[in-house]
Structure 1
């Protein structure tokens, strides 16, 4: 059985490399957060006080992002290999054993990627800490700590999240009738299962509770500690309700351009709608990145406006580069890698589709343009959802502070969405161009 686990990992190396990249990024970011906690714990006093508030915000932003990107990436990984699992059952492997093999593979890749990410963080943590906290008097010259225990906790946490995220996919892989899976090679559509329903209810409840407890009459500094968490929670709620929200938004805005306007647009729009599991895996992390960055800058600008209205000065709410890096660097890195990786992972599964389109008379230029349109659809959908989360959070904060409108940072929203689009574009177009080099008869002859 060990041979089956390892040989299958090798056979589908492109798919597993996507999960590995996301888990490496998760391990890297998690190790940085663990280093902050361990360093504060060792020194105590004012160091612990300063690092506790910073690490709490880092963990909050990172945890929300990691849960979303890991679960979506893991589920897509299992879905893309549905046909292989069906073949296993046809040759006599029991369904329960199929699920066990899938979870074992996920555990190996999750632990390996997290460990590599932690190792990458070890040499980077000290210079990053010095740069971020160079203006903090209490942090000057202190010893930094990121030990084996912290690394093991990070590796174990990421491996557990990967396994939990893959439970549903593993169960589906073992329960799907082999003939049905072979007849329907496309990844299954995402659904609002009981886990997503519970998660969505909990996150929405937490968001409403936070919005109700925000006290606009408190000091701006006290208010900001809670307000900065509002937009990330809204984004998490949208991600949890993705099977309901993503199709509606995608269909709504893509319907604005009639399908007859362009054949490549028609193909891209229908492909994104039909392959909703793959589309959602690309949209979710990019949406989170847009919402986190836009929400942070919008909250800061809105708080500065309230401070200026109360005291005539907005000092204290300028977002320093080092603060933005330590708060958003990890989540943005995770989101960018996950968005590009999920698109890259699913590229190989579409080679037959590209060959069929060519056989029907389409040119290489048309197919490449279709891939570009798909990247536009992914990025635009994520930008719309991320902007919606940012605006909703901003409106609540502004209402609590008795401001007419929030100071929405559209420049930040556009910058993150544009950067995400470039990554997704590269991950979409490169596999497409590579697939077009294959001979059509050979591609269509291989199932």
Structure 2
């Protein structure tokens, strides 16, 4: 079994490199949140209060992002190797061993990746926090640490989320008949099962509770609670992804006429056919857009409330350290996950591009397909993120009884633009490289 695990990791190195990279970043970001908590326990008074407040905000945003990103990546990792697992059974590997091998692969790669991220974070903790908290003079006497127990919690958390995310795929790989798996299309339909519905109900219940607690509450209560509204909406969209993502992507792409561009037509149907892969690329970027826009929108709403109530914003501003702590980790994790998803699935696109070339398409058409695919992912993520921002803004604005509702369009657009650039690099560069390969050899490769 050990030899099988090792050989499969090498054979599908492209997939596992992406999984390792996302796990590394998750461990790196998680180590910063754990360090804030671990350090705050060693101090008293103002220092502990300051660090505890920062760790709570960072933990909320980082945890929601990590769960969405890691579960999406782990599910994609297993789905991309479905045919390999079927071939294992055809050569005599028992179904039970297939399932245990899949879990072992996820465990090994995720543990190594997250542990590497934690080790990397430990070497830059103090310089990073000193830079972030440079405006607070008391930080000069704080020595940020990360105990072995705290580091173990980070690694265990990343591994647990990855295993839970890939568990259904591993179970499916071990139970499905190999001939059925080989005959099914590579793009497996996304479904909302009972567990997702229960989870969606739990998230919706938390959202309703948080929203209800805002109405009639004091300003300080609204200040502390409003920050979680948009993240909860993001979590709800992610849980209902199999229903929401295809519908949104199909709806807005259908507005472009088929005759507008052959490359657009091909890219649209390719993205719609591979829904699980599309969702894995869209979800991380959607999280980054929604969390950024939601934080700045909530800040703008609170400032507007102060102006309407007192006639002055009382020097209200969104501190830089708050932005870095709450958004730095999620943005990094989302960016790496979006790029890793495209990189992991590039082999499947190489076959599609080779088929297009064999059917008479030009290299220019194939490159345009890659460009349009990145545009589809980024635009879908922007629309979903915008829905979360607007939804959270409406809830907070209603609770504050505002006469107007300022929304931070600029921050959402900046993140969406950055995500588009990243996706373009992750799709177009491999596509140009694949055009150098022989079409016959690409189509013949398994």
User: By the TM > 0.5 criterion, same fold?
Assistant: yes
Cα deviation per residue 1:177-206 (whole Å; 9 max; x = unaligned)?
A: 111222235142221122221211111111
Map of 2:228 onto structure 1: 229
Mark the CA change 1:2 to 1:429 in structure 2 (over 3 Å): closer, same or farther. Answer: same
Give the unaligned 5+ runs of structure 2.
Answer: none
Map of 2:68 onto structure 1: 68
Map of 2:99 onto structure 1: 99
Map of 1:390 onto structure 2: 389
Matches within 5 A, 1:278-289: 278-289=277-288
Map of 1:249 onto structure 2: 248
Hey, what's the Cα distance between the residues in 2 that align with 1:237 and 1:321? 28
Aligned Cα root-mean-square deviation (Å):
1.2
Hey, what's the Cα distance between the residues in 2 that align with 1:99 and 1:326? 38
CA contact (8 A) 2:214 2:221 kept: no
Hey, what's the Cα distance between the residues in 1 that align with 2:196 and 2:407? 30
Map of 1:150 onto structure 2: 150
Hey, what's the Cα distance between the residues in 2 that align with 1:405 and 1:179? 60
CA contact (8 A) 1:217 1:401 kept: no
CA contact (8 A) 1:203 1:233 kept: yes
How many angstroms does 1:217 deviate by? 4.7
Cα deviation per residue 1:98-118 (whole Å; 9 max; x = unaligned)?
A: 010000000001111101111
Q: Which range is displaced more, 314-323 or 352-361?
A: 314-323
How many angstroms does 1:134 deviate by? 2.5
Hey, what's the Cα distance between the residues in 1 that align with 2:61 and 2:342? 23
Instruction: Tell me the secondary structure at the aligned position of residue 140 of structure 1.
Output: helix
Q: Which range is displaced more, 126-135 or 365-374?
A: 126-135
Instruction: Tell me the secondary structure at the aligned position of residue 70 of structure 1.
Output: helix
Map of 2:20 onto structure 1: 20
Cα deviation per residue 1:72-130 (whole Å; 9 max; x = unaligned)?
A: 11111111111100110001111111010000000001111101111111122101211
Residue 277 (1) aligns with residue 305 (2): no
Instruction: Tell me the secondary structure at the aligned position of residue 228 of structure 1.
Output: helix
Give the unaligned 5+ runs of structure 1.
Answer: none
How many angstroms does 1:216 deviate by? 4.7
Map of 1:240 onto structure 2: 239
Hey, what's the Cα distance between the residues in 1 that align with 2:100 and 2:382? 38
CA contact (8 A) 1:82 1:187 kept: no
Map of 1:436 onto structure 2: 435
Instruction: Tell me the secondary structure at the aligned position of residue 211 of structure 1.
Output: helix
Instruction: Tell me the secondary structure at the aligned position of residue 14 of structure 1.
Output: helix
CA contact (8 A) 2:292 2:327 kept: yes
Mark the CA change 1:250 to 1:345 in structure 2 (over 3 Å): closer, same or farther. Answer: same
Hey, what's the Cα distance between the residues in 2 that align with 1:409 and 1:104? 44
Map of 2:108 onto structure 1: 108
Hey, what's the Cα distance between the residues in 1 that align with 2:13 and 2:191? 27
Map of 1:32 onto structure 2: 32
How many matched pairs?
446
Normalising by the residue count of structure 2, what TM-score does the alignment of the two structures yield? 0.98
Mark the CA change 1:217 to 1:162 in structure 2 (over 3 Å): closer, same or farther. Answer: closer
Cα deviation per residue 1:297-321 (whole Å; 9 max; x = unaligned)?
A: 0000110010111122213531232
Hey, what's the Cα distance between the residues in 2 that align with 1:202 and 1:317? 34
Mark the CA change 1:128 to 1:215 in structure 2 (over 3 Å): closer, same or farther. Answer: farther
Hey, what's the Cα distance between the residues in 1 that align with 2:59 and 2:35? 12
Hey, what's the Cα distance between the residues in 2 that align with 1:316 and 1:246? 40
How many angstroms does 1:175 deviate by? 1.5
Instruction: Tell me the secondary structure at the aligned position of residue 317 of structure 2.
Output: coil
Hey, what's the Cα distance between the residues in 2 that align with 1:212 and 1:336? 33
Hey, what's the Cα distance between the residues in 2 that align with 1:68 and 1:142? 33
Cα deviation per residue 1:281-340 (whole Å; 9 max; x = unaligned)?
A: 011111010000000000001100101111222135312322211110000111111111
Residue 169 (1) aligns with residue 166 (2): no
Q: Which range is displaced more, 190-199 or 285-294?
A: 190-199
Hey, what's the Cα distance between the residues in 1 that align with 2:315 and 2:292? 19
